[in-house]
């Protein structure tokens, strides 16, 4: 039981109390890894835990979410980089288990190339949100209306697992799954089409759609071109590789890439979920594109996203940007953020807006919440994943949620792979 005095401090003070940090970031990663495996893995899917009683992890359950594919992808990336650094059999086994879960999202729908948002065994608990469909065999239910967030995470995970952790025996199945998703996009005019026969709300990348949604042009072009290059890379040595590269080349000939470097012209608001998608997309796009002229355009676009991101001191985006630009910048900021991520990832309510040392912005953020100009380190603000706004300094869930912690593991192990920190 948590003492009432501690609960008072957590809910009303400027920040939750500091918990002792391990002597090294690697020890911290090991602690997070063990906790994740103990209480955040559901058949390979990595999920936040809902706590029936504040702070009581014994009362936890792991319901599905809108973004099971994305959050699981973050963990696949983390474990794939951990395997690349350490050659740990456990890292490879964990990465494989969660990669296989992501692959099931595509097979469970019964529609080739259409991944689900999430899935459960029939009869398992789920919240009454969204539209759920039965799997062809009736054993599962899957959540529809899959978004671009999901595809961004899944292509990222497929590419990193394929390159760093997959065995030769696994690669044909990985290649085939990505080929089905990519073929689905191509055959439906660069759109993910749901079971209804209509496009999902957000996974639309066609020129026609983007003409009417200029604020999405930069991001969605990064994502689609990165998806095509990832598919071509994974299909190397097969007829699909030439087909996917030809599709990519056709879009380039149409100038599809040019809007990538016009993000600041078309941006109407700062969306931190979009930042997450963009950085995952830029990683695959710049990893596989070797043409100097195209890279110059893509790097210009990356710089425009970085204009806001650099103030966030986000270790994940620092690691991805350093990988893309081929040099080390801001590593000290990223390492400090990793050190300041609290050991306790329960989402206690935190309120900082009344602090004398916090300057609040006159403008509300996109969801109507107050945000600060002052940047607070992560152990003084609400627990959030990297798609959250780090300048929203009030928040939390009264201790009813525990984050899975993969948001720490990905940048840590990617940074280790890039020699940014130890």
pLDDT tens-digit series, residues 289-300? 999 999 999 999
pLDDT given for residue 112 in this prediction: 98
Looking at residue 17, its pLDDT comes to: 54
What is the Cα–Cα distance from 153 to 69, expressed in whole angstroms?
A: 7
Q: What is the pLDDT of residue 238?
A: 95
H-state helical runs in 261-405:
263-266, 272-288, 292-309, 315-325, 331-340
Q: Which residue has the tokens 């992501």?
A: 102
pLDDT tens-digit map of 179-216: 999 999 999 999 999 999 999 999 999 999 999 999 99
Please write the tens of the pLDDT for every residue from 302-338.
999 999 999 999 999 999 999 999 999 999 999 999 9
Mean pLDDT for the stretch of residues 258-262: 98
pLDDT above 90 (res 82)? yes
Which domains does the chain carry?
4-417 (1.50.10)
pLDDT of 20: 79
**Confidence label for 21 from pLDDT (cuts 50, 70 and 90):** confident
Question: Quick check: pTM over 0.75?
Answer: yes
Q: What is the mean pLDDT of residues 225-232?
A: 98
Q: What is the DSSP string of 181-197?
A: HHHHHHHTTSEEE-TTS
Indicate if the pLDDT at residue 6 is higher than 60: no
Q: Which of 5-9, 174-178, 396-400 has the lowest mean pLDDT?
A: 5-9
Distance CA 262, CA 255 (A): 12
Q: How high does pLDDT run on average in the chain? A: 95
Q: What is the pLDDT of residue 19?
A: 66
Q: Alpha-carbon distance 291 to 105, whole Å?
A: 34
- Distance of alpha carbon 369 from alpha carbon 363, whole angstroms: 9
pLDDT of residue 46: 98
Using DSSP's 3-state secondary structure scheme, residue 346 falls into strand
Count other C-beta atoms under 10 Å from residue 337's C-beta.
Answer: 21
């Amino acid at each position: 039981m948590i003492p009432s005095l501690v609960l008072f401090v957590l809910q009303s003070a400027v920040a939750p109390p500091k918990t002792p940090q391990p002597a090294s970031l690697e020890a911290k990663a090991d602690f997070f890894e063990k906790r994740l495996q103990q209480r955040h893995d559901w058949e390979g899917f990595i999920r936040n835990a809902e706590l029936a009683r504040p702070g009581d992890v014994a009362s936890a359950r792991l319901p599905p979410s809108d973004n099971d594919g994305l959050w699981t992808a973050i963990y696949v990336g983390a474990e794939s980089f951990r395997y690349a650094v350490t050659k740990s059999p456990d890292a490879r086994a964990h990465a494989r288990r969660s990669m296989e879960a992501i692959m099931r999202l595509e097979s469970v729908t019964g529609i080739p190339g259409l991944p689900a948002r999430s899935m459960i065994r029939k009869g398992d608990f789920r919240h009454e949100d969204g539209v759920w469909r039965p799997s062809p065999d009736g054993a599962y239910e899957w959540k529809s209306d899959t978004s671009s967030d999901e595809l961004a995470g899944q292509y990222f995970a497929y590419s990193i697992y394929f390159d760093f952790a997959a065995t030769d025996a696994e690669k044909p199945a990985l290649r085939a799954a990505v080929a089905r998703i990519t073929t689905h996009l191509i055959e439906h005019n660069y759109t993910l089409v749901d079971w209804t026969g209509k496009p999902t709300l957000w996974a639309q990348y066609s020129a026609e759609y983007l003409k009417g949604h200029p604020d999405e042009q930069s991001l969605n072009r990064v994502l689609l071109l990165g998806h095509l290059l990832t598919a071509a890379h994974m299909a190397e040595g097969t007829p699909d590789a030439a087909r996917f590269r030809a599709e990519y080349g056709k879009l380039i000939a149409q100038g599809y890439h040019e809007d990538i470097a016009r993000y600041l012209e078309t941006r109407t608001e700062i969306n931190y979920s979009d930042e997450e998608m963009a950085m995952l997309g830029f990683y695959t796009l710049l990893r596989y594109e070797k043409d100097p002229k195209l890279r110059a355009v893509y790097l210009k676009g990356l710089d425009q996203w970085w204009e806001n991101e650099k103030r966030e001191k986000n270790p994940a985006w620092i690691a991805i940007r350093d990988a893309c630009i081929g040099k080390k910048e801001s590593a000290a900021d990223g390492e400090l953020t990793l050190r300041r991520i609290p050991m306790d990832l329960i989402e206690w309510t935190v309120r900082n807006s009344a602090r004398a040392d916090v300057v609040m912005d006159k403008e509300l953020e996109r969801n109507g919440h107050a945000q600060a100009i002052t940047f607070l380190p992560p152990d003084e603000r609400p627990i959030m994943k990297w798609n959250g706004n780090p300048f929203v300094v009030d928040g939390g869930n009264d201790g009813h949620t525990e984050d899975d912690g993969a948001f720490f593991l990905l940048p840590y192990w990617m940074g280790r792979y890039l020699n940014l920190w130890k």
